[in-house]
Amino acid sequence: MAEKTAEKTGGEPEKQSGGMPEEKLELRRDVTVWGSFMWGYADVGADIYAALGLVMAAAQGAASLAFALAGLVYIMIGLAYTELASAYPVAGGGQYFTLRGLGDFWGFIAGAALLLDYTIDIALFAVASAGYINFFMPLIFGFSIERFAIDLGPFKHVNPFWLMESLSLIVFLIWLNIKGMRESSLLNEIIGAIDIVTESTIIIVGFLFAWKPEMFVHQWTTQFPTLSKFMYGSSLAIISFVGLESISQAAQETRRPATIVPRTSITLIFTVFIFATAFSTLGLGILPWNTFAAHEGDPVAKLAHAIPFIGVIAGPFAAILGATILLISANSGVMSASRLTYAMSKFQFISRWFDKVHPRYHTPVRTIVVFSMIGVIQTILSFLTPSAMDTLGNMYAFGATTGYILVFIALIKLRFSDPYTPRPYRMPLNLKMTIRGREVYVPILGFIGILGVGLVLFEVILTHAIGRIAGPSWIILSFLYYAWYRKKAGLPVFGSLKRDWEKEQIAVLSAAEEYELLEEYKLALEERDRKAVKADAEPMG
């Protein structure tokens, strides 16, 4: 029956438990400590370049408050991902965590929601990267990118030149990711290091020589937005904090992930929180918020150009850096989408055809190409709307918040159902309880996180006209494919396959070379089994 199921799905013969075949090409562990940090920073660090103008346009004088509140929720999301990614260091991220905690159906829903974000990630940041490249158009050619805009029937102000730039960048990233994680990660590491230095310089010099506290207070008191606009702005700000999922996706290709992931994740959480709140606060003390709204394509370059002494150089340099850091963020989207679908294929949520690994480069070539092409389609469709970036940013929200809620629920469930897996890092603020003779740490921040992300999801549904339609539509279409595929393969649609998670966890820790944690895990299982045997023997005695 297992062989027949595999034949139907186009994959290798496999046990019904959903475990991987023993002889199969796997993802190579090529990501270092710095590489792991940069996979996350490539996503989150770039977001300020794209999100600053969008959030300013919505939250106006309260933009820094919107970033700060979103950042608090992001910190809780980050702590949850840190615990789960270090305990379960495999490709799949939130989808895998939800599968482990809540079963196949909810694991698929989480995967579909996060996949929506990753494909949009590719499109949004490729478009934004090209937007910063176009900052130099007036300097080189004497006219702006708007000169190329045309009307195509009912579609007004379509910019084919900007569209072709964006598509060219996506094609380049597809090629780079097929080549391998090492090459792809190296691009992130070099550009990311330069970006951290540059952003720090802009913030320090800006606050010392350009920031006017009276201007910040004036915009706060006189330009405060309506509640609806603030909710829209804060929801855009929260979805800009999505890079920790990239660290989770790269965990299966990270060396010693149980040791590395907690360090890189915690560092990333606070680095990005400081940058996001600092840039928005700095911006409101230098320029009117509507100036940033008018420069949605290059807001950081506009801010840097307004700083005395360094502005002449900092403006163009920030534009170059914005183009490159947004490019590596799109690169993270390609990586994360391909690794997520690779994991979903392995666990028979989608066809086993997708888990093919390139024999030379050890990369999931089919998922890289197929789901990057979905990003291409989204890019083309977005350019048929009045504002490509606003449309893509709008669609980004629903998937992120849906996936994050399921991850928090899975974290709480796994604390009860899988207390034996070693957790190199555990979220703070836990209530220690004894349930059926077993010690369980109940995560208080996990429940607070559910409320926080739930509030953002409410904001998305209430204020995002495109997101509240496109998001659920994507989930419904994905579920129809899932139901068709599972029925065709003779697998349950709403039920879960029987999986040997203990064997899977031993294999994961062994492959990651986390031998101390592996020994700890085996000892915990042996102690559990001894107690079970003793409990069974006592009545007989």
Q: Hey, what are 539's tokens? A: 């009545």
Query: Do 442 and 347 sit in the same domain of this protein?
Result: yes
Query: Do 513 and 464 sit in the same domain of this protein?
Result: no
Output the CA–CA distances (angstroms, integers) from residue 83 to 262, 290, 504, in the order listed. 7, 40, 18
Query: Do 421 and 511 sit in the same domain of this protein?
Result: no
Rounded Cα–Cα distance for residues 115 and 337 (Å) = 6
Rounded Cα–Cα distance for residues 276 and 267 (Å) = 14
Query: Do 104 and 71 sit in the same domain of this protein?
Result: yes
Rounded Cα–Cα distance for residues 74 and 280 (Å) = 16
Query: Do 411 and 504 sit in the same domain of this protein?
Result: no
Q: Which residues contact 318 (CB under 8 A, 6 or more apart)?
A: 198, 202, 300, 301, 303, 304, 305
- Bridge pairing between strands 155-158 and 150-152: antiparallel
- Predicted TM-score (pTM) of the model is 0.81
Output the CA–CA distances (angstroms, integers) from residue 507 to 36, 103, 496, in the order listed. 21, 20, 21
CB 31 within 8 A of CB 255: yes
Query: Do 209 and 264 sit in the same domain of this protein?
Result: yes
- Residue 259 CB neighbour total at 10 angstroms: 18
Query: Do 165 and 120 sit in the same domain of this protein?
Result: yes
Query: Do 298 and 321 sit in the same domain of this protein?
Result: yes
Q: Which residues contact 6 (CB under 8 A, 6 or more apart)?
A: 12, 13, 14, 352
Query: Do 486 and 506 sit in the same domain of this protein?
Result: no
Q: Domain holding 315: CATH number?
A: 1.20.1740.10
Of 481, 498, 515, which residue sits at a domain end? 498
Per residue, the 3-state secondary structure of 472-516, as one string, reads: HHHHHHHHHHHHHHHHHCCCCCCCCCCCCHHHHHHHHHHHCCCHH
- Residue 280 CB neighbour total at 10 angstroms: 26
Rounded Cα–Cα distance for residues 193 and 107 (Å) = 35
Query: Do 133 and 101 sit in the same domain of this protein?
Result: yes
Question: Which segments within 230-336 are labelled E, that is strand?
Answer: none
Rounded Cα–Cα distance for residues 225 and 277 (Å) = 18
Q: Which residues contact 505 (CB under 8 A, 6 or more apart)?
A: 88, 421, 521
Rounded Cα–Cα distance for residues 527 and 536 (Å) = 14
Rounded Cα–Cα distance for residues 70 and 259 (Å) = 28
Rounded Cα–Cα distance for residues 414 and 456 (Å) = 24
Rounded Cα–Cα distance for residues 11 and 491 (Å) = 15
Query: Do 138 and 230 sit in the same domain of this protein?
Result: yes
Rounded Cα–Cα distance for residues 274 and 461 (Å) = 28
Query: Do 421 and 358 sit in the same domain of this protein?
Result: yes
Spatial CA neighbour of 192 closest among 334, 49, 309: 49
Output the CA–CA distances (angstroms, integers) from residue 497 to 58, 69, 84, in the order listed. 45, 40, 22
**Number of folded domains that form the chain:** 2
Domain that holds residue 88: 2-498
Rounded Cα–Cα distance for residues 204 and 282 (Å) = 10
What does each of the 541 residues of the chain score in pLDDT, given as a tens digit?
Answer: 333 333 333 444 444 444 444 444 444 445 556 666 776 676 666 778 888 888 999 999 999 999 999 888 888 988 998 899 889 887 677 888 999 999 999 999 999 998 888 888 889 889 989 888 888 887 777 777 777 878 788 888 888 888 899 999 999 888 887 776 555 556 667 777 888 888 899 999 999 999 999 999 999 999 999 998 999 888 888 766 665 666 665 555 566 777 777 888 788 888 888 888 999 999 999 999 999 988 877 888 889 989 988 888 888 888 888 888 888 788 878 877 877 887 788 889 988 888 777 777 667 788 888 888 999 999 998 888 877 887 887 777 788 888 899 999 999 999 999 989 999 899 999 998 887 667 889 999 999 999 999 998 888 888 887 778 888 999 999 999 999 999 999 999 999 999 999 999 998 888 888 888 999 999 989 988 888 888 777 665 4
Phi and psi at residue 139, to the nearest 5°: -70, -35
